[in-house]
């Protein structure tokens, strides 16, 4: 059976090179914190991986802290800000956006319920943060601005350089969730001017359950996970040596191949977009037409509901995701699409195709063969 995986924003297939690196690392089982030879061997592997990750971000080695993934990295930043506010910081307000990943949206909702002040910068119809609105929200009481680099649902890329500059002009710290951006665009923490940046290995062909947080040297910090002295006391917990090695390899490959990958993914994405627009009537392409993660294509199909489209594609071996409420188990469809001003019905009928390194033109052709009759059939059944 033909299988086409187009859900790379959910997770990616591990690169064969990463699998090799992982397999090799299983021989070294020492605790990287131990002083003996076993420990030193593991420690050397961890430090090499740290260097690989740091290089891919334009950071220094000691600015990289390993975590369990994007959610922990995001939570660490919000938790340290909460600590600062609790400790009596003059700045007590956090600004984020309406389209952040749940790791941030839900954390903010939690903090808000406990009385912390959070403001949400709105986005325009393409999903771009409205810089004028953000500017109006900023003030000398703002502690942190947190805006994602590239959106997981629509792919819309934010102008992090400009947002960082704005935040810093008002004396606020700047965090970006770059989980979707790594490997798909050049990342340079110095040029971006961010104080904190979150990333997760499994989004760029690395293993699951491992990520990192960039913390600019000199930026305030407080450990989220307390305990042992790993990471210089900044993140407790025995080093997951193997996963860290896998992440290091994946990061090295991501930065080495980013130009090639950007071109490859964008060409496939555009072929898919043009093909869908030519073969299905009335489709709406969501997100920004150009400032978009190269492999992400979010499309709404009026008259057909997202979960139904997803399951019919699944029948033919094609994996995608949807912003429909039915897939989430709630009555509300994607808050990201609604925040961009998309009609509720269009949000229910949205499908996200997210392409990756291992997709081919033949994959796109297969989707373009199967998708149009599925939409046509669902529209026949529909009350449209």
The footprint of another protein (CB under 8 A) covers 1, 3, 303-308, 311-312, 314-315, 317, 324-327, 329, 331, 333, 344-345, 348, 380-384
User: What is the nearest approach in angstroms of another protein to the Cβ of residue 342?
Assistant: 12
Bridge partners (DSSP) of residue 269 are none
Rounded CA separation 91/101 (Å): 24
In the bound state with another protein, the residue whose beta carbon lies nearer, of 1 and 35, is 1
Q: Which of 81, 108, 292, 326 is catalytic?
A: 326
User: What is the nearest approach in angstroms of another protein to the Cβ of residue 147?
Assistant: 30
In the bound state with another protein, the residue whose beta carbon lies nearer, of 171 and 303, is 303
> Taking each helix axis from N to C terminus, what angle separates 102-113 and 70-86, rounded to the nearest 10 degrees?
30
In the bound state with another protein, the residue whose beta carbon lies nearer, of 1 and 37, is 1
Is residue 326 flagged as an active site residue?
Answer: yes
User: What is the nearest approach in angstroms of another protein to the Cβ of residue 7?
Assistant: 14
User: What is the nearest approach in angstroms of another protein to the Cβ of residue 338?
Assistant: 11
> Taking each helix axis from N to C terminus, what angle separates 16-25 and 241-279, rounded to the nearest 10 degrees?
170
User: What is the nearest approach in angstroms of another protein to the Cβ of residue 318?
Assistant: 10
In the bound state with another protein, the residue whose beta carbon lies nearer, of 155 and 302, is 302
In the bound state with another protein, the residue whose beta carbon lies nearer, of 225 and 327, is 327
User: What is the nearest approach in angstroms of another protein to the Cβ of residue 303?
Assistant: 7
In the bound state with another protein, the residue whose beta carbon lies nearer, of 219 and 326, is 326
Asked if residue 156 lies in contact with residue 291, where contact means CB atoms within 8 angstroms, the answer is: yes
Residues taking part in catalysis: 326
């Amino acid at each position: 059976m033909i299988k086409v995986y187009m859900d790379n924003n959910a997770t990616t297939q591990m690169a064969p090179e990463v699998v090799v690196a992982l397999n090799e690392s299983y021989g070294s089982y020492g605790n990287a914190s131990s002083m003996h030879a076993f420990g030193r061997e593991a420690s050397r592997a961890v430090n090499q991986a740290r260097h690989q990750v740091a290089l891919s971000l334009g950071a220094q080695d000691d600015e990289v802290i390993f975590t369990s993934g994007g959610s922990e990295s995001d939570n660490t930043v919000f938790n340290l800000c909460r600590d600062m506010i609790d400790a009596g910081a003059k700045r007590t307000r956090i600004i984020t956006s309406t389209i952040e990943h749940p790791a941030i949206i839900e954390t903010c909702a939690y903090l808000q319920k406990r009385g912390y002040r959070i403001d949400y910068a709105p986005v325009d119809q393409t999903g771009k943060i409205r810089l004028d609105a953000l500017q109006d929200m900023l003030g000398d009481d703002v502690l942190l601005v947190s805006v994602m680099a590239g959106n997981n649902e629509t792919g819309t890329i934010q102008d992090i350089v400009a947002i960082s500059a704005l935040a810093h002009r008002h004396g606020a710290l700047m965090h970006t969730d770059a989980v979707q951006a790594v490997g798909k665009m050049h990342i340079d923490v110095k040029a971006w001017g961010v104080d904190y940046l979150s990333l997760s290995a499994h989004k760029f062909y690395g293993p699951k359950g491992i990520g990192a947080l960039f913390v600019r040297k000199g930026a305030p910090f407080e450990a989220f996970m307390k305990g042992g002295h790993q990471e210089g006391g900044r993140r407790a917990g025995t080093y997951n040596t193997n996963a860290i090695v896998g992440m290091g390899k994946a990061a090295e490959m991501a930065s080495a191949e980013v130009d090639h990958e950007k071109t490859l993914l964008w060409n496939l994405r555009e072929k898919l977009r043009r093909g869908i627009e030519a073969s299905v009537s009335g489709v709406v392409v969501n997100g920004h037409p150009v400032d978009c993660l190269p492999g992400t294509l979010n499309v709404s199909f009026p008259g057909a509901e997202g979960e139904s489209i997803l399951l019919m594609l699944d029948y033919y071996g094609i994996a995608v995701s949807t912003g429909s409420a039915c897939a989430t188990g709630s009555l509300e469809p994607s808050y990201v699409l609604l925040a961009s001003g998309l009609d509720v019905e269009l949000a229910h009928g949205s499908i996200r195709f997210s392409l990756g390194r291992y997709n081919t033109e033949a994959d796109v052709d297969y989707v373009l063969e199967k998708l149009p009759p599925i939409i046509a059939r669902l529209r026949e059944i529909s009350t449209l």
